[in-house]
Structure 1
């Protein structure tokens, strides 16, 4: 699981849905221990939140900008949007076979990949990024007009072409969602009470709280079934309106009433 505060998320719990702009929703559950009139109670509820899709960076940027990024150059506003979305995000390189080294993105180069060069030794030998990748890894960079990702510190930046980077799975998106993404997330999380109850019971059974060694160490036993709580239905309050209205008072029915002819 990927923990977020008191919640735990996994891509394997179903309902993994795309939210747009390179984000997806992961399902999970919330848990806490609460003191109640019945004693200590385990509070479990289902939850969903946004994660960054583990896409190749080229594909993520295309989704973010809603267009094919190889057709025309990036504008200044495109660069700002990409930099804002990718700063702090972890990526893994794909051009070194099984060696999937991970980096955290610190920024975006102001120059295109084909214009970038850097010193490769202490003697001041300079190579272009395109030349270096071809000679060192046998990798021919295709998207030379795109900027490179900057990883590492600002004093000694490390340039990585977008096409050799893939976003690492399991990174929660903590920034504000747009309206379209919020709508998509609400659609995923909306459940009928019976479905929610079923999912909660499955989560409790799957996590086997009743067999937890730490709970057993303290002599705590956790029931597999939901707690039963006695309740009562209160009668609706009678509503009184101003004497000048046609109906001076009204008794709500089925939790609602109509304001027609009341004032």
Structure 2
């Protein structure tokens, strides 16, 4: 019986063990790379061996946003206010009260004068006789006031007109009660005698201007006025008489 030498077995076992450990280790280059995983937009996320390199924080410049409207309006108002303050330095504003409204008597007198002027203009265009003093008078009256009634002697007028007071005369229209005519009364202050201008607030008295035209007869009032009777202008209230006294120096 033959025996194998001991060295040979030892060498055999050692060779096997050496062969086990001597197996070459695979290198990284021998592995196959996997495909990159992409999103829908095509951006590479990374691979198994090559992970994506993330960039550091970057500063992105944001576009400048315009100011809202209320901010710009506030700045504009503030600048305008400052400009107004500088422009108004040293300027004092005076408060003016409401305009004084004319009295009812003044309004009625103005309406009556307009109607009388229109009537005189129509008569003049139609070729009828009309007093030219109303048409040719360039200076405005000192005062115009409504009236309540007129009388010349024993003749009374039921349709009074406004009375216009000038510097030297008073003018009004007398509607004849029996005849269809209008008489333009131009009463000059120099011809008036025994002038009475008085007013009262009582119902018993009356506010009136009355006077006499002595030595003259009014041709339109024959049979009613002989020259010694009163010519009377009656007003509506005492305030009308007061206004005549204040505005007409020829009757003071």
Fold conserved between structures, TM > 0.5: no
Higher relative contact order structure (alpha carbons within 8 Å, sequence separation ≥ 6): 1
Bigger proportion of residues as strand: 1
* TM-score, with length taken from structure 2: 0.18
* TM-score, with length taken from structure 1: 0.17
